[in-house]
A and B are shown apart, each in its own frame.
Chain A
Amino acid sequence: MDWGYINARMRGMKSRLLDHHTLDNLVLQPDLDSLENELEKTPYREDLIEARGRYSGMPAIEHALRANFVRTFRKILDFSKEKEAALYISIFLHRWDIQNIKTVLRGKNIHITNEEILECIVPAGELDEVTLTELVRQPDMKAVIDLLATWSIPYAKPLTTAFPEFAKSGDLGMLECALDQYYYEDALLAVKGTSRNNAMIRDILSLEIDVVNIKTALRMIRDGVAPEEAGKFLLPGGRDLDAKKLDRLLALHTIEDALAMLAATRYRFLTGTPETALRAQKISVIEKQLERYLVQEGVRSFVGDPLSVASLIGYFWAKYNEITNIRVISRCKTADFSIENLREELVYV
C-alpha cells in the first residue's frame, strides 16, 4: 500500500463528484421531488433510498447526505493504510465526537429528554452509538464528564479542567470552548512531525484555525466584547495570524477597521465585502467569503504532490463543498428561493 494507490483511488473518487453541470441541473429543478429524482441519478442514490425508509422530503435528503459523507470517509479510512492518511481522516472524524459530546452536555444542561438528545446525535466519529447512548443516559453533566474520564476518552481532560469554572459561572460556552481548543491543539500535536505530509495537514489545519479566529474576532468586535475576555476564545496555531496580530485585531472597535488590518494579510479579499453588509454588521457575509476561501485552498491541494496526503485533503474539501451545496439547493427548493438568490448561496469551487 503506498501513496500512489491512495492517490489513484482519490482521483477516481473525485471524478465521481458532481460537476458544475450536474449542480446547475439540480439548481434548475422546480421542486424537491424532482430534485430527489435527479439525486437518484447520482452516487447518492444508495443513501437516498436507504434514508427514504425512515424519512421523507428534506430530512431524507439531509440524512442521505450525512450518511454518504461519513460512509465515504470510512471507506477511505479502510483502504488508507498509510498512517498519515488515516490520521487526517481521524482528525476530521473527531469533529463529530466533539459535536456529539457538546450535544449531550447541552441537553443535560437544560434537562431535556434523552430521546431529544439522541435525535441530534450523529455517531459518525470514533465514539460509537452504544458509547454515546450510555453518555446520554447519565443523569447530569458531571456524570457525563466522569464517565468520559472513566473510559479514558481524551475529551474528558479539557472538560474536567474547565468544569469548576462552569460550576461557578454556569456558562456552558466555557466548557465548549475548552473542548474546541483541545480539539485543535490535539490535531496540531498529532501532526507535529517534520514529514512533508504532516506539514501539509498542519498547513490546512492552521489555515482553518486562522479562519475560525477571524470569524470569532469579528463576532467579538461586533458585540463589543472586551479584548481580554475575547482572547479566551481564540485558538493558537494559526497560519498568518499569530497571538500578537490577533490581540491587535481584537483591540479594534469596528468591523471596517478589522478588515482594513486584514488587508495586509492573505485575507485581503475581505476588503471587498459589500458596503451594505458592513453597515448592517452582517458577519455571515464575511464568514461566507472566508469559508469559500478555505474550501478553495483545501480543494487546491489536489494539484499538489500526487505521492502525498494532498489528494486526500483536496478530496475532503471537495466532498464537503459538494454536500454543503446539495443541502443548500435542497433547503432553498423547500423555501421557494429564486434561482438567482440560490446561486448566491452556493459555494462553487
Chain B
Amino acid sequence: MEQVKPTRMELMKKKAQIKLAEQGRDLLREKMDALIQEFFKILSSVSDSRDELEQVSRAADQALMIAAAVDDPVTLKSASFATRRSITVDITGKNIMGVPVPVIEKKRVSKSMMERGYGIITTSARIDETAERYEVELDLLIKLAETETAMRRLGSEIQMNRRRVNALEQILIPELKGQAKYIKNAIEEREREDLFRLKKVKSILERKKKKAKEKKAVG
C-alpha cells in the first residue's frame, strides 16, 4: 500500500481499473460458460467414439488372434507386407470461441479385398476380416484424434480462463478494492485532519482575538 499515492486522482484511476477488471471477469465467465457448453458437446461424442473404438479394437484383436492361430503368424505377417501403405491426412483448422482446433481430412482407410494387394487364392477370409476391422479401427482412431485434440484444447482453454477469472476475482479485484479503500480512508483521514486543523486554527485565532479584546478593555 505504501506505493499507492492517496490522491483523488489515484482513487479515480483505481475505480476505473476495478470497473474494467469486473467487466473482464464477467466476459471471461461468459466465454468460459460457452466453452464449457462446447466442451460437453464434444465430450459426449468423444466418449461415444471411445466406447466404439474399444469395441472395434477388441474385435480386431480377436480377429487377429484367430487369424494368427489358424493361418500361422508368419503367413499373416507376410500378407501384411502386401498391404502396407501410408495414410495421407490433410490437417486444417477451425475456431471454436477463439480456440484453434484441428480438422483432419482423410481418404477412407477401409479398402476392398482387391485393393489390399495380397493374392486372393491362398489367403483366407479370416485375414480379410482382420484387415477390415483394423481399417475401421484406424478410421475411428483418426476421427477420435480430431475430436480429442479439440477437446483437449478446449479443456486447457477453459482451465486457463478459470485461472484468469480466479486471478481477477481473488487477487486483482480485491487488491484494487483494497487500494481504493485505503486511498478513500487516507483522503477522509486527511480531510478530517484538515478540518480539525482549521478548527484548531480558528479557535487559536478566536482565543488571540479574545485576549486582544481583553487587553484593550483593561488598557
A residues whose Cβ falls under 8 Å from a Cβ of B: 62, 66, 98-99, 102-103, 106-107, 109-110, 112, 117, 119-120, 122, 171-173, 175-177, 179-181, 212, 215-216, 218-220, 223, 225, 229, 233, 235, 282-284, 286-287, 324, 327-328, 330-332, 334-335, 345
Contact = CB atoms under 8 A, between A and B. Distances in A.
Contacts of B65: 331-332, 334-335
Interface of B: 61-62, 65-66, 68-70, 72-75, 77-79, 81-82, 84-85, 112-114, 116-122, 124-126, 128-129
Judged by DSSP, the binding face of B is: helix
Nearest to A117: B81
A62 B126 contact: no
29 contacts: A99-B78, A99-B122, A102-B82, A106-B78, A109-B117, A110-B82, A120-B74, A172-B119, A173-B116, A173-B119, A173-B120, A176-B82, A180-B119, A180-B121, A212-B121, A215-B125, A216-B120, A216-B121, A220-B113, A225-B113, A233-B120, A282-B129, A283-B128, A283-B129, A284-B126, A328-B69, A330-B69, A345-B66, A345-B69
B93 to A, nearest CB: 33
Given A335-B65, A345-B69, A173 B125 contact: no
A99 B75 contact: yes
B62 A335 contact: yes
Contacts of B121: 176-177, 180-181, 212, 216, 233, 235
Contact of B112 (A212, A223, A235, A332): A223
Contact of A223 (B77, B113, B118, B119): B113
Contact of A106 (B68, B81, B114, B120): B81
A71 to B, nearest CB: 16
Q: Which A-B residue pairs are the 6 nearest by beta carbons?
A: A176-B119, A283-B125, A331-B69, A106-B81, A180-B121, A103-B78
Given A327-B70, A328-B69, A110 B118 contact: no
B50 to A, nearest CB: 22
Nearest to A345: B66
Given A173-B120, A176-B119, A324-B70, A219 B81 contact: no
B69 A332 contact: yes
Contacts of B124: 215, 284, 287
A62 B72 CA distance: 8
Contacts of A102: 78, 82, 119
Contacts of B75: 99
A219 B128 contact: yes
A35 B128 CA distance: 30
A62 B117 contact: no
Contacts of B78: 99, 102-103, 106, 120
A112 B72 contact: no
A188 to B, nearest CB: 15
A345 to B, nearest CB: 6
Query: Which of B66, B113, B117, B125 neighbours the largest number of chain A CB atoms within 10 Å of its CB?
Result: B125
B74 A331 contact: no
B69 A218 contact: no
B122 A223 contact: no
A106 B74 CA distance: 13
A306 to B, nearest CB: 31
Contacts of A177: 119-121
